[in-house]
Each structure stands twice: as C-alpha cells, then as structure tokens.
Structure 1
C-alpha cells in the first residue's frame, strides 16, 4: 500500500523529483562500488564528449563549484583517468584531458548507468521508454534554455 497522498501522485513535478531521487540514489550506489561518484562520471563524460577543457571552463559547463571541481579532478588524476597540464602562458590555467584508462572507465560507468536505467524502467515497454526519454530531453532542453535566458538577462 502506497503511503504517498494521491494529491501528490497527481503532480508530475513531484513524480519527477521522487523518481529522479531514486534513480540518482541507485546509480550513486553502483558507482560507489567502483569508488566513483556521479560528478566523476559527469566530468569524464564531458571530457570524452567535448574534448579537453580548461578546468575552470569544465566547472562552468557542468555547473560545478570551482572549489569542488579541484577535488573531482584530483580524484580522477590520482586514479590515472585524466591528465592535467598547466598552460605555459598562464600557470593558473589547467587543461584536463581524459586518458585511455579514463575512456575505458567511462564505458564501464555508462554500462552501470544503463543497468540502473533498465531496472528503473522495467515496467515500461521499449517504445514507452523511448517516448519517455524523448519527452524528458525536451523538458530538459526547455528548463536549461530558461536558465540560460535568466543568466543572459542579468
């Protein structure tokens, strides 16, 4: 028997929040088994998808506080998953690049994420899963376009 009030079950924002929290928790647990966190996966994903980044720009792209990105990058560097290089013209600039081991680790993390996704979406047919993904991408784009417009209006 569900303890959730029916009036909350009628709110899509509530369902998104609770489902997202459950998904995040399950994925975080799977990544923790590999001594990784969600931000580690996000940084590796950005570096593999978009190429090397200056550390400060990487923080901005992912919405990570600059002080937090230092710890995340340190963790990944110690694990041999990224390389860091100081800019010879500006010693404050550090460029971060994924290593082959980092690319391999990301593939493993993505496989873990897909396993979690398959478990969470098991009640849906393949077609419904594709439809859900398309709808969520559309809402995600709308939300992030609004955030960019808010930043531009400042």
Structure 2
C-alpha cells in the first residue's frame, strides 16, 4: 500500500482529479478482462450498445457511444469479422448502414456484461456494495446532467 501523502493534498481535494484517476484504474481493469477475450473497450461498447438499444444506424451508434464515426467503422469491421455483428442497408434510408447483433454477438454481450460487472466490483473492492451503488448513482447524475445540457445546446 502506498504511503499516505504520496499525492498532493490539494489535488486529492479536486473531484475531477480523483475521477480521472478512478477512471484510469477502472478502465485498466476492464480492458484487461476484455483482452482475455481478444476484445478492446470499443468492441465491448459496440456489443453492449446494440444489446441495450437493438439495431441502430451506424452513425446513431457512434453518437450514442461517444465514438468518432470514422473510428467506429474500424471497430465494426473487427467485430463483424468475428461474426458478432452484421451490417445492412437501412430499409428506411438506403444511404445508411444499420448494425445488428448476431446470435453469437448477443450471447457474447451477455457474457461480457458479467465479466465487466465482476471487474468493476474488483476495482471498487475497498467500497461496500451500498457505497458502490451510491458512487455509481452520483456519477450517473453528473453524466445525465451533462448529456441534458449538451442536448439543449444541440437542440
């Protein structure tokens, strides 16, 4: 365990500093667990996004995941080669690609969710279950408020 006082107290009083380091830890633990399956975080995001929302236009999927649209194409190419997603022309607008999970992709998304939840419990293991739930709820409120603010600006 690192000694007390290893980090400047002024920085440890800043929520953004703490959140940044917390994100680094959580990302590392989750990325390591996904790497065991030959996947990266964007692949996980694609699979879970489609599992949550169902088939989506490619650009809509990128926007919902906060991914660059051109980068999404590469991620989709990789998971499509593995038979986890399919792309087809959107019947409502032939200029768009619609992305869907395959049966294998749906099954893997469920397995990955369990893996992700386990990795998150591990990295937040110093907190009780109630504390983890509180932390997640507080962070979700901040993210939702930011999403709402951006929606007002865009709308």
TM-score, normalised by the number of residues in structure 2? 0.89
- Residue 35 of structure 1 is aligned with which of 11, 15, 38? 38
C-alpha distance in structure 1 between counterparts of 2:76 and 2:91, whole Å:
19
List per-residue Cα deviations over 1:43-99 (Å, max 9, x = no partner).
111111111111122112222112111111111111111111124675532111101
Q: Distance in 2 between matches of 1:38 and 1:73?
A: 13
Deviating 4+ runs (over 6 angstroms):
none
Change (3 A) 1:16 1:88: closer
Structure 2 partner of 1:137: 140
Secondary structure at the aligned position of 1:31 is classed as helix
User: What TM-score do the two structures reach when normalised by structure 1?
Assistant: 0.90
| Helix, strand or coil at the partner of 2:95 | coil
SS of match in other structure, 2:147:
helix
Q: For the residues of structure 2 that align with 1:89 and 1:7, how far apart are their CA atoms?
A: 54
Q: What residue number does 2:131 align with?
A: 128
- Structure-1 residue corresponding to 2:85: 82
Counterpart of 1:10 in structure 2 is 13
Distance 1:89 1:47 in 2: 19
- Aligned residue pairs total 152
- Partner Cα separation in structure 1 for residue 32 and residue 55 of structure 2: 28
Name the SS of the counterpart of 1:84 in structure 2: strand
Structure 2, gaps ≥5 residues long: none
Match for residue 112 of structure 1 among 107, 112, 115:
115
- For the 8 Å contact 2:86–2:102, the answer to whether it is kept is yes
What's the counterpart of residue 56 of structure 1?
59
Question: Structure 1 regions of 5+ residues with no counterpart?
Answer: none
Deviations 1:97-129 (A, max 9, x none): 101111111112112211211112211112212
**SS of match in other structure, 1:92:** strand
Q: Distance in 1 between matches of 2:120 and 2:109?
A: 16
